[in-house]
Structure 1
Amino acid sequence: MTENTDVVVIGGGYAGVMAANRLTQRDDVTVTLVNPRRTFVERVRLHQLVGGSDDAVVDYREVLADGVRLVVDTVTRIDAAGRSVTLASGGTVGYDYLIYAVGSGSTDQRVPGVAEFAYPIATFEESERLRPVVAAASPGAAVTVVGAGPGGIETAAELAEAGRTVTLVCGGVLGPYLHPRGRRSVAKRLAELGVTVLEGPGTEVTAVTRDAVRLGDGRDLPSEVTVWTAGFGVPDLAARSGLSTDALGRLLTDETLTSVDDPRIVAAGDSAAPSDLPLRMSCQAAMPLGARAADTVLSRIAGERPSPLNQVFAGQCISLGRRAGIFQFAHRYDVALWFHIDGRPGARLKELVCRSIVKHLAGEARKPGSYRLHRVSGGAKRRQLLRARHETAPATAGRAA
């Protein structure tokens, strides 16, 4: 008689859903997905939720395999020794293997006033809370968006296109990931929408009040609504459970995404730090990581050696309102190229990408094991970085001794 294997996946985002679906390849594997929400959140559309052009949710029946049991709850602790997780509702769920895919959120970076007066939008609940605030603001209200990564750019453009008076505070360079040509394209579109872009030295935010934002150069910007997209944080579940994490709280793993503390725990998505060399936060990384995490578990169940991480990037796509966007192409190792597609074609490409994400998840739900993008080679760059780290570590240790 074949022994059944219980796998618990914590987190129902891009990585968690991909992993859960893929695990259903085996009939002798029982998959439980624990997630605090009843619907799948399209994080790539949260700026649209804020602007009112999309609700940013999809029914789990569209993206989750029928064989996956969905538990709507929050995990408060992982008991690695006892192989179980404790739920906020008071119950526990046992496991043979655990996939840790809790995702990421925003951080206030300890800037005074952010927690009290700014509105983060890294999660569905945060974005949903901001939407009526924006809707209730007076037509000429000053809206300040802090942070010039994709989230900040997309939110600023979305609100400006809706007629809002928007200032985008970069705290440095506009779109740090972008190639200079792509950056100029984005800046041009933001100017067309009437967005005031503040970048360069002195534009870091040092404080937020009820009606203003203070910059490092001493300027106070009037702000009736302050949107916070700067910073990156992950839930502290791993650290609270006594598992090893990096400085930001991501679970430390090897290149097969296996926890350095426990071979029964595998990580995926934004909350994973493979070899303490984490990938850029994105669904472009999360779904392949989810597939790789599932493959690691399936390999262990089969008594096989798991394959290491092999990540490839294509670029970054950013919407600039509903009528324009940009797809910034990149090297496989995630460094931007000069080539990009912008304007209306860029908007269409961005929408195609957003829809294809859901299609990938739904496709894996219908035919587990069909997703293969995580097997496309990302090239030798990561291996070079890992070798360089290993070579310098002994030297550093010797000097310290």
Structure 2
Amino acid sequence: MTVNTEVVVIGGGYAGVMAANRLTQREDVTVTLINPRSTFVERIRLHQLVGGSDDAVVDYRDVLAERIRLVVDTVTQINASERSLTLATGGTVGYDYLVYAVGSGTADPQVPGAAEFAYPIASLEEAKRLRPVLDAAPATAVVTVVGAGPAGIETAAELAEQGRTVTLVCGEVLGPYLHPRGRRAVAKRLAELGVTVLDGPEAKVTAVTPDTVQLSGGHQLRSTVTIWTAGFGVPDLAVRSGLRTDALGRLLTDETLTSVDDVRVVAAGDSVAPSDLPFRMGCQAAVQLGPQAAETVLSRIAGAQPAPVSVGFAGQCISLGRRGGVFQFSAKNDTANKFYLGGRPGAKLKEFVCKSTVWQLGYEARKPGVRTWWSKDAKRQQLLAAKRGDALATAEQAV
């Protein structure tokens, strides 16, 4: 008699969808995906939703295998000892294995006035809340974007291309990930679009009011609409459920993505910290971590030893309006190098990346396990060895 295994995936983002689809390789595995929304959100297009050029959503029927049961709800508690989940609607769901892929969102801003008067855009709901605010603002209204990572740069460029008056407040450096050559290309394109870029030690936001942004250098900027893209946080579900996390709240796991507290809990995406050495947040890591988390579960079901995680990076892709972009190339260990692709070719490559990412999800739904999307990063083993060495030295000093 065949024993059926119930696997529940919490979170229907890039990592969760990839994990759920990969799990359907086995006919004796029942997969349930729990997500607060009934549609898949293309987070890498949320700046386009803000700008009005895309709705940033995809029907789950296009990216999720037919065998997967989709539950539109929110998990409020994980009871690992009983292998059950409590839902916001009041029900419970049991599991044999759990894939924790709750993703990330806007970090709670510590700057006075930011939570009350600035608009975050890390989620679909936040971006939708901002859209009518921008529509109602006069064409001459000053828009301030806080945060110079990809989300901030892309949002500033998207709005400036529409003729908006935009100031991008970097805090310190424009595009911290970028190589200086790639950074200069981004700065040039932003200047062409008319974006005022403020960087350096005096460009940190110290307070936000309904119509101003105050900086550490003592300057005060007029701002009709302030958009907040600085920093990301993760849901506190693991913390509330008594599972160990890193300082940011990401679930602590070993190198097989298995929770350090429970062999039945596996994690993927922005909300996991393997060996307390998490990967850069984003879909590039998520589409690799998702299937690897699923493979860990499948290995345990088969009684085999799961393989250690392996994530390789290609770089960072940034759109600069609809007619420009920069692809910053990197080594597999996510270190940016001097090579980049800019201009219209950069914009086309970014659009290709957005479309191909959704295609990857759909391909995994149709043919789970046929292709592997990740490449090895040999330097991670060096980081792990150094971390173990540091831990041993600290322990010896304590003795």
User: Counterpart amino acid of 1:383?
Assistant: Q
1:322-363 deviations in Å (ceiling 9; x for gaps): 000011110010001111100000000000000000100000
Aligned to 2:300: 300
Contact 1:108 1:114 in 2 (8 A): no
Contact 1:255 1:275 in 2 (8 A): yes
Aligned to 2:79: 79
Contact 2:31 2:69 in 1 (8 A): yes
Aligned to 1:20: 20
Aligned to 2:227: 227
- Shift in Å, 1:109: 3.1
Contact 1:15 1:291 in 2 (8 A): yes
Aligned to 1:390: 388
- Shift in Å, 1:173: 0.4
- Shift in Å, 1:163: 1.0
Q: Residues of 2 paired with 1:202 and 1:371: CA distance?
A: 48
Contact 1:243 1:251 in 2 (8 A): yes
Evaluate the alpha carbon distance shift between residue 400 and residue 217 of structure 1 in structure 2; reply closer, same or farther with a 3 A threshold: farther
- Shift in Å, 1:2: 1.0
1:2-401 paired onto structure 2 within 5 Å = 2-374=2-374, 376-378=375-377, 380-401=378-399
1:115-151 deviations in Å (ceiling 9; x for gaps): 1000000000000100111111011111000000000
Q: Residues of 2 paired with 1:281 and 1:136: CA distance?
A: 33
SS at 2:263's partner residue?
coil
User: Counterpart amino acid of 1:114?
Assistant: A
Contact 1:360 1:371 in 2 (8 A): no
Q: Which moved more, 1:171-180 or 1:105-114?
A: 105-114
Contact 2:21 2:364 in 1 (8 A): yes
- Shift in Å, 1:9: 0.1
- Shift in Å, 1:390: 0.3
Contact 1:65 1:366 in 2 (8 A): yes
1:303-337 deviations in Å (ceiling 9; x for gaps): 00000011100001000000000111100100011
Which sections of structure 2, spanning at least 5 residues, go unmatched?
A: none
SS at 2:32's partner residue?
strand
User: Counterpart amino acid of 2:143?
Assistant: V
Q: Which moved more, 1:363-372 or 1:89-98?
A: 363-372
1:274-294 deviations in Å (ceiling 9; x for gaps): 000000011000010001000
Q: Residues of 1 paired with 2:371 and 2:124: CA distance?
A: 26
- Shift in Å, 1:108: 3.4
Contact 2:109 2:115 in 1 (8 A): no
Contact 1:172 1:204 in 2 (8 A): yes
1:27-49 deviations in Å (ceiling 9; x for gaps): 00000000000000000000000
- Shift in Å, 1:191: 0.2
The aligned length equals 399
Give TM-score scaled by structure 2 length.
0.99
- Shift in Å, 1:392: 1.2
- Shift in Å, 1:218: 1.1
Q: Residues of 2 paired with 1:109 and 1:77: CA distance?
A: 25
Q: Residues of 1 paired with 2:371 and 2:164: CA distance?
A: 41
**Percent identity between the aligned chains?**
73
User: Counterpart amino acid of 1:141?
Assistant: A
Contact 1:300 1:306 in 2 (8 A): yes
- Root-mean-square deviation (CA, aligned residues, Å) is 0.7
SS at 1:393's partner residue?
helix
SS at 2:33's partner residue?
strand
Contact 2:251 2:272 in 1 (8 A): yes
- Shift in Å, 1:371: 3.1
Q: Residues of 1 paired with 2:268 and 2:225: CA distance?
A: 34
User: Counterpart amino acid of 1:162?
Assistant: Q
Contact 2:177 2:336 in 1 (8 A): yes
Q: Residues of 2 paired with 1:370 and 1:203: CA distance?
A: 48
- Shift in Å, 1:248: 0.3
Q: Residues of 2 paired with 1:198 and 1:283: CA distance?
A: 28
Contact 1:252 1:274 in 2 (8 A): yes
Contact 1:291 1:371 in 2 (8 A): no
Q: Residues of 1 paired with 2:31 and 2:395: CA distance?
A: 43
1:224-259 deviations in Å (ceiling 9; x for gaps): 100000011000000000000000000000000000
